[in-house]
C-alpha cells in the first residue's frame, strides 16, 4: 500500500470520529472539573461587607439528602502579635430522619480554637450573617471576619459562633442572607488570607449554599 492510500484511510477514520462526536454531543477536549461534581443548589448566601483579600478555598457540600443543622467556628480571640478572628467554619449535616452525615468545611487556618457546636433546636439552618472589621490601614491590625450568626428554619432562633468579648475593635454585621422558602444551607466556601510577616486577616469572606 502506497503512502497516498495510507493517508486517505487515516483521513476517513478521523472524519468518522469527528462526525460521531458531533452526533453524540461529546467534546473530546472537555475534562471533569470540581464544578461538575457539586451538588445542585438553589441560592448563594453572601456577606455584603466581605473583604477581597486572599484566595477562595474548596467548596464542600453535605451529602445528597442532608442539610446543615449546626455550625462551629475556629476562633482566635486574642493574640499578642496579630489578631485574626475567624479561622475556620464547620457545618454539621444530617438528613430528614435526623441521622448525622458528617460535617463540611473549606479552608481552615492555623490559629485559634474551636468554640463548640451551635445547634438548631429542630430543623435546619436557613440564613447567615457575618461580623466584619473594615480594613484598618497601614498601621492597624486587620481582622476581617470576626464572628458569624446563623438562623434556624426562617425563624427568630439565632445562634452566634463566638459569645465572648474580643479585644480588637468590633466590626459591623452584614445584612442577613436567607435561603429561599423550602431550602436549607447545604455547603460553603471560605476566602482566606494566608499568614504573612506583617499582618494577616485569616477568613475575609464566605459563601454558603442552599439546597
Q: Is-contact 84 75, C-beta < 8 A? A: no
The 10s digit of each residue's pLDDT in 141-158 is: 566 888 999 999 999 999
DSSP for 126-152 reads EEEEEEEPPP--TTS----EEEEEEEE
The 10s digit of each residue's pLDDT in 72-100 is: 999 887 665 666 788 899 999 999 998 99
CA separation (Å) from 173 to 26, 111, 156, 206? Answer: 47, 22, 17, 14
The 10s digit of each residue's pLDDT in 33-61 is: 344 346 788 899 999 998 888 899 999 99
Amino acid at each position: 500500500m502506497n503512502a497516498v492510500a495510507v493517508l486517505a484511510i487515516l483521513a476517513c477514520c478521523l472524519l468518522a470520529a469527528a462526525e460521531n462526536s458531533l452526533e453524540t454531543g461529546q467534546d473530546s477536549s472537555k475534562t471533569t472539573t470540581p464544578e461538575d461534581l457539586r451538588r445542585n443548589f438553589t441560592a448563594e448566601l453572601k456577606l455584603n461587607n466581605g473583604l477581597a483579600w486572599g484566595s477562595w478555598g474548596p467548596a464542600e457540600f453535605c451529602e445528597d439528602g442532608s442539610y446543615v443543622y449546626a455550625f462551629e467556628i475556629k476562633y482566635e480571640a486574642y493574640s499578642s502579635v496579630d489578631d485574626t478572628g475567624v479561622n475556620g467554619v464547620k457545618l454539621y449535616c444530617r438528613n430528614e430522619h435526623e441521622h448525622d452525615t458528617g460535617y463540611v468545611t473549606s479552608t481552615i487556618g492555623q490559629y485559634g480554637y474551636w468554640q463548640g457546636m451551635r445547634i438548631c433546636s429542630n430543623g435546619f439552618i436557613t440564613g447567615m450573617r457575618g461580623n466584619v472589621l473594615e480594613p484598618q490601614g497601614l498601621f492597624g491590625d486587620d481582622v476581617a471576619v470576626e464572628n458569624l450568626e446563623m438562623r434556624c428554619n426562617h425563624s427568630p432562633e439565632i445562634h452566634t459562633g463566638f459569645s465572648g468579648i474580643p479585644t480588637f475593635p468590633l466590626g459591623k454585621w452584614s445584612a442577613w442572607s436567607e435561603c429561599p422558602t423550602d431550602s436549607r444551607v447545604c455547603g460553603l466556601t471560605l476566602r482566606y488570607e494566608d499568614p504573612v510577616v506583617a499582618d494577616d486577616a485569616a477568613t475575609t469572606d464566605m459563601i454558603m449554599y442552599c439546597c
